[in-house]
Amino acid sequence: MRAVIAVTTVLCAATLGVGCSPSPSGAGDIVVFAAASLRSTFTALGSRYETDNPGTTVTFNFAGSSDLVAQLIQGAPADVFASADATSMTEAVEAGLVSGGPAAFATNTLTIVTPPENPSGITVFADLAWPGTQLVMCAPQVPCGAAAARLEKAAEVTLSPVSEESAVTDVLGKITSGQADAGLVYVTDAAAAGDKVTTVPFPESSRAVNHYPIALLAESARPEAAQDFIDLVNGPQGREVLAAAGFGEP
């Protein structure tokens, strides 16, 4: 399931391929499709954009990057696409959805999260393969899942998750609700969860760095406004917000 929100409105949920976002009416109103891990940072940047451009609205669709590409290919209207990996952006480029060249704006890595106090005693990446461990991770086609697969190969560890989710926020939700012993999420999501989880860093994480690209979409109805938002993300204010959330430099 994907979620579509406007910065100034309440959450609107819909199934894949069914739009629920309002059609922007202002000259500077834009629709941004962004990876689920960008929810907090992009919502903050959307608010800044609206402050700097009175009377405009940024409407967000946050979901797994692969789901977002599928929606765009099916004709979902949007102005900007920000992916959690280069693979999803490449798919969008090859489908003719992107105008110009994508630009990397951040990096992210995975970390282990457990319920508070880490009741299963997980301390290293290999512990996730313990028999009986209720592990949750992203599905392989999702950027966070692809990163996890690279880590498995690098660490020579085979993981057997009890659930594979379509977005990293869904993995985090399984942990904060106590439905699993451990999960693999981005360091930024772990930081945002605060004391709702215990974070277990592991050195192998540096072997699977995800690079986040952003691009103007070819069918954008408001390309100038969309480019202004992209410039905000790539500029000093965007870097400040992203760094505060734990994202690395592109």
Q: What is the pLDDT of residue 11?
A: 32
Q: Which residues of 225-234 are buried (b: 16+ CB within 10 A; e: fewer)?
A: bbbbbbebbb
Give the start-to-end residue ranges of the domains of the chain: 2-107+211-245, 110-207
Cβ-contact 69, 17 below 8 angstroms: no
pLDDT tens figures, 102-127: 999 999 999 999 999 999 999 999 99
pLDDT tens figures, 232-248: 999 999 999 999 999 99
Cβ-contact 143, 105 below 8 angstroms: no
Q: What is the pLDDT of residue 28?
A: 72
Give a three-class secondary structure readout of 204-223.
Answer: HHHHCCEEEEEEEECCCCCH
pTM of the model as a whole = 0.86
Query: Which amino acid does the sequence have at 67?
Result: D
Which residues lie across from 147 on neighbouring strands?
A: none
65 is in an annotated binding site: yes
CATH topology of domain 2-107+211-245: D-Maltodextrin-Binding Protein; domain 2 (3.40.190)
Which of the listed CATH numbers 3.40.190.10, 3.90.1170.50, 3.40.50.12780, 3.40.1710.10 matches domain 110-207?
3.40.190.10
40 is in an annotated binding site: no
10-residue stretch averages of pLDDT, the chain, 250 residues long: 40 36 56 97 98 94 97 98 97 96 97 97 97 97 96 95 96 97 97 97 95 98 96 97 96
Instruction: Give residue for tokens 């693979």.
Output: 87
d(CA 239, CA 124): 31
Q: What is the pLDDT of residue 27?
A: 58
d(CA 112, CA 43): 25
Q: Which residues of 62-82 are buried (b: 16+ CB within 10 A; e: fewer)?
A: bbbbbbbbbbbeeebbbbbbb
Instruction: Give residue for tokens 């991770």.
Output: 137
d(CA 2, CA 14): 6
168 is in an annotated binding site: yes
